[in-house]
Amino acid sequence: MVMVGGWSHGKLLDRVEYLDPGCLDPLFMDSTNYYKNLARLPFEVHKHGLAVIGTALYVAGGELPDDKVSKKLWRYDPLHDDSWTKMASMIEARCDFGLVVLDGYLWAVGGQGCSECFVERYDPRTNTWQLNKDMPRCSNHPVVVALDGLIYVFAAGSPDTDTAQLQPYKQRHICGYQVSRPTYRLAAHRGQVTRVPRATYVPAYKYNPKTAEWTEVAAMQVPRSDSAACTLNGKIYVIGGEDLSVDSTTDKVECYDPTTNQWTMCASMRHSCSNPGVVAMAGKIYVLGGMDDYGADLRDIQEYCDQTDKWESVGKLRDYRTDRYSYRRCSYVRRGPAPTGRSYFSCVSLWLSTDVKEVPYPKPHESDDSNDYYW
């Protein structure tokens, strides 16, 4: 699998790493010997889209360190390229969107920074983008997957619009007083606090590119945002995220069967998380990192087997505050705060040969005695 960009302890990442899940060993979870560094991105980014066509990686959009939203598209083939190549930019700048591959095209769906309903398609043969039919409802945190010639969009709706059905006020007693629970929650991100309504239902859709028609499908049992999804054995799994009905991260996992248009609850993860990296490889699902209820970036790598319906912890991500190769300006020391992980990044399933070229990352100066020692 390949992991690109992300967020770690208040810093955006430009890292690109390859990890062979077959090398993970639960007995040596903190070992980072099974990682290979690939060519860095030319910029730091998170909330971007990542997809793979053949052995070529495509990174689109995302949020940059200056809070600007990008519309650029970059291409990198680890087997043939030494660096990233800039391709034709998207029509609309966007972050927190879905990027999938279907019929040899890249499809960018929803997101923030654009109209949130826009759908555009990229043709790698002509290096051009074109607009397609908009979604029925806007979506700024969609979960998008492609399966059997169709594009599925879950969590399709902005909780701050009329696409979500809000909970009524809940009456309860505290210390003898009757109080009401508000229908909104406060969400904080990078110092900004906003009101986000609590939701009990968020619609979902599928799109048929041949007929250019959107059709509503069964909604998830747990209304959520900031989740991740993948496909395995003809079914779609939606994992983790923010449970909009209770205002907290969730460990719930749901499985959608397109043939029956029904959802089934699976075994819960070992711990809850939002904005993780998720990939399906070798008949297993891997959930990497993410963010907990307190905004801390996680390091755990969890593995799910659909045959046994069980989760296991099989490894850990690199510690991006003490790994001396993590940042361009870091200085490694043994002391310091607890290790930190990674969130808001993307990962895809891609098998690379064992002799794939590893790109050395710049090392920091040994004499760097900055108080900000983990950067």
pLDDT, tens digit, 9 for 90 and up, residues 47-66: 999 999 999 999 999 999 99
Q: Which fold has domain 2-348?
A: Neuraminidase (2.120.10)
**Which has the higher per-residue pLDDT, 166 or 359?**
359
Highest mean pLDDT among 20-24, 75-79, 136-140, 159-163: 75-79
Averaged pLDDT, 5-23: 88
Three-state secondary structure along 136-155? CCCCCCCEEEEECCEEEEEC
pLDDT, tens digit, 9 for 90 and up, residues 196-233: 555 567 889 999 999 999 999 999 999 988 999 999 99
Tokens standing for residue 371: 């108080």
Highest mean pLDDT among 173-177, 240-244, 344-348: 344-348
Supply the pTM of this predicted model.
0.83
At residue 182 the predicted structure's pLDDT band, cuts being 50, 70 and 90, is: very low
CA 189 – CA 217 distance, rounded (Å): 31
pLDDT (0 to 100) of residue 164? 40
CA 206 – CA 190 distance, rounded (Å): 33
CA 248 – CA 274 distance, rounded (Å): 9
User: Does 192 score more than 70 pLDDT?
Assistant: no
Sheet holding 128-132, edge to edge: 98-102, 105-109, 119-123, 128-132
| Contacts with 269 (C-beta within 8 Å, 6 or more apart), sequence order | 239, 240, 251, 253, 287, 302, 304, 311
pLDDT (0 to 100) of residue 248? 87
pLDDT (0 to 100) of residue 309? 97
CA distances 328 to 18, 76, 204, 346, 357, Å, are: 19, 21, 41, 21, 20
Residue 257's nearest CA partner among 277, 231, 283 is: 231
pLDDT (0 to 100) of residue 202? 80
| Average pLDDT score over the chain | 80
User: Does 331 score more than 70 pLDDT?
Assistant: no
pLDDT (0 to 100) of residue 352? 81
Residue 71's nearest CA partner among 43, 94, 51 is: 94
User: Does 375 score more than 60 pLDDT?
Assistant: no
Highest mean pLDDT among 13-22, 29-38, 45-54: 45-54
User: Does 324 score more than 80 pLDDT?
Assistant: no
Averaged pLDDT, 169-183: 36
pLDDT, tens digit, 9 for 90 and up, residues 58-97: 999 999 999 999 999 999 999 888 899 999 999 999 999 9
At residue 9 the predicted structure's pLDDT band, cuts being 50, 70 and 90, is: confident
pLDDT, tens digit, 9 for 90 and up, residues 285-318: 999 999 998 888 999 999 999 999 999 999 888 8
At residue 188 the predicted structure's pLDDT band, cuts being 50, 70 and 90, is: very low
Percent of the chain's residues with pLDDT above 70: 74
Stretch among 6-10, 252-256, 276-280, 331-335 having the lowest mean pLDDT: 331-335
Domain positions in the chain: 2-348
Instruction: Give the count of alpha carbons within 13 A of 344, CB side only.
Output: 25
pLDDT (0 to 100) of residue 70? 96
**Which has the higher per-residue pLDDT, 330 or 26?**
26
User: Does 136 score more than 90 pLDDT?
Assistant: no
Instruction: Find out whether 95 and 62 touch, Cβ atoms under 8 Å.
Output: yes
User: Does 156 score more than 80 pLDDT?
Assistant: no
Averaged pLDDT, 185-201: 52
pLDDT (0 to 100) of residue 26? 62
